[in-house]
Structure formats: C-alpha cells, structure tokens
Amino acid sequence: MAKRTDKPKSGAEGQPSSLLNSVASVAGAATHPLSRLAEAVNRTVSTATSGQDSREEDEALQAALKTIAVVAFVGPPGTGKSTRAIRVARENNIEFLIDDGLLIRGSRIVAGTSAKRAASKIDSVRQAIFADETRAQTMRRTLADHQPAALMILGTSDAMLEKICVNLWLNPPAMLIRIEDVSSEEEMRQARQTRMTEGKHTIPVPSMEIKHEFSGTFLNPISRLRRRFDRDRGVQPVQNDAERTVVRPTFSTLGSYSISDEALRSMIELILRRIRGVSHVVDCRITKEIYGVVIHLDLALLYGFNAQIVLREAQEKVSHLVEEFTSINVMVVNVKARRVVYQTAGQPAGGSQ
C-alpha cells in the first residue's frame, strides 16, 4: 500500500516553530517585527555584559588602589610645597607624587595634565582634585598599573587632600606632613612674596618633561638674564635645581608676554651670524603650532664651505638657542641652501662675534 507523503504547507500553518529560525527566515526584511525584537534583545544582552565588565574592572581597580599608602603634604598656596616636595619625597624613599593633576615618578611625568595650564582658577582646582571622571579614571588605571608602595599627594588643605583621595579611590592619608614642618618662616615668606609679585609657580620636574605644554611660558630665560647681571656684579650664582621648573600659569593675573615674528627673525639672524659659511638669511617663515613653532629657513651660503656641514650646524644652533633664549618649543627647523655667494676680498667668512 502506497504511503501518503504530505507536502510542506505554506503560509501561517507552515511557519517554523523556533523563534530564531523565524527571525532568520526574514533576515532581509529590516522592518519585520521579529527582527526588531531580536536586535533589541541583542542590545540588552550586550549592554548588560558591558556593565558587568565595567563593574569588575572598577572592583579590581579599587582592590589595587587600596594597597597604596598615601602620604599627604599640606601647605597654603605659594609657600614652596612643590620645591620642598622633591627633598621630602627623596628623604622618605617615595618615588611617586601627585601635584596639581600630574603623577610624577622621580623626575618624569607618568600621567596627567598640569592644572597650571587651565583657563581659569576654577578649572585649575577641578583638575587638581580630579573632579572630571575621565581624568580620574585615567589616573586610577595608571596608579593601579604601577602599584607604588607609597604615594605623596600635595594639597593646599586637608579638605583638598580628602577630595583627591575620594576621587581616586585611595585610602585616607596614613602620614601627614605640613609645610611648617620642613620650611622656616623666612623661606615661606620669600615663597609667598615671589608668588604674589611675580606669579611664579614651580612644577617638580625638569623643563624637558613639560615644555610641550608650557611652550613660551617658562621663566628660565628671565632667570638666565638675572644670573648674567649677577656675574657682572660679582655675585656668586645659586646652585640650579635641575629637577624643578618655574612657570607662569595660564590663569596668572600678571599678564603674559609675546614675541613677534619679526623679533624672532632678528634673533635667528643674530644666531646665524656666528656660523661660518652662512652669508645671510634669504627667507624666514615661522609657523605656529599647538605645541610650539616650526621654523623654515632659506639661506645664502658662502662659496668654498661644505654645505651639508653648514646647514646642519645652522639647524642645530637655531633650534637650541631659540629654545634657550625664549622657552618656545621649537618642533622642527627646516633649512635650505637657496643660493651661493662668492666671497669678495676683505669680506669675513661668517662666524663673526
């Protein structure tokens, strides 16, 4: 007896029983209700998984940060905290410190942005206490990666130190050092006088560590001129501390100084006069970038000199001396030999002093 074989039915009676198969059968129809339902379910599952991963990361960070012993260094603004912090940290074998939004290890910046670059005093305070969650999370991860045994945090008050510890998920300070414990009244008075009259702030790292942030705002050139005057008067120079940099913050109320392109070109021409083989500057173009300047030089060289050697010396000296005299970060110096000049009788061969 022949068996009867039913053909698959079409329409509603022939729909697959599985929801996933149903969704797959209409994969090309973006407006199908089941397709939208599946997408919503996937998004919900993905969000839940991401939230779980974030919570697990935060728990791991908190556990790592709780192992760090915090040393608080407290003092009013302008009393010389940053200057003293270098010595105190060294004496107590503390490698890491936080000052004005920067995490510093020895003489190197590990993470953060200086609060002294903030546009206003309010923004400066917010950066210093890590009120922004993104900055705070970056600092937490960096601290967890390095796992320092001890961390010194500089602040102007106990309340400020408490906010920093809370925002960075750190333990309350296990040790408290006040500026009065390590500085005399006279030293603090001189520091306050300097802050009030000259607007100087100290960052406890060498200039090379932060020059991309503070291009043109270092006070080193002024100090260099003062030392030159002191030498002329027979005053002995003071030993320079290479592990700190004096700057004037962006929000300083004492104003700022600027250098025109013409003045910078005149300075470059004076520098090139000291280089043998350079006749004169044909063209000088200065491009201002976010982190400094790019200098383009077209030079006329004297006949008879090795052009490669002369151009290399010009490039190195312009870059070095412009930075030294102005504290502007020179990113690139491009030099070209535009023409050759024959030296006439009695004409000096460059390099005049």
What confidence score (pLDDT) does residue 214 get? 45
Looking at the chain, the domain(s) classified CATH 3.30.70.1350 span 261-341
What architecture is domain 261-341? 2-Layer Sandwich (3.30)
pLDDT tens column, 112-155: 877 766 777 788 889 889 999 999 999 999 999 999 999 999 99
Tell me how far apart the alpha carbons of residues 269 and 275 are, in angstroms, rounded to a whole number.
10
Percent of the chain topping pLDDT 90: 33
Read off the pLDDT of each residue in 262-277 and give the average, rounded to a whole number.
Answer: 91
C-beta separation of 204 from 85 below 8 A: yes
What confidence score (pLDDT) does residue 14 get? 46
Q: Please give the backbone phi and psi of residue 152, each rounded to the nearest 5 degrees, phi first.
A: -95, 130
Provide the 3-class DSSP secondary structure of residue 206.
Answer: coil
Looking at the chain, the domain(s) classified CATH 3.40.50 span 69-195
Q: Is the pLDDT of residue 347 over 50?
A: yes
Instruction: Pick the most confident of 87-91, 210-214, 315-319.
Output: 315-319
Q: Which residues of 138-165 are buried (b: 16+ CB within 10 A; e: fewer)?
A: bbbeebbebebebbbbbbbeeebbebbb
Q: Is the pTM of this model over 0.75?
A: no
pLDDT tens column, 183-235: 888 877 776 776 665 555 555 544 444 444 444 444 444 444 445 545 555 54
State whether CATH 3.40.50 applies to domain 69-195.
yes
Q: What average pLDDT is seen over the chain?
A: 74
Q: 44 versus 288: which is more confidently predicted?
A: 288
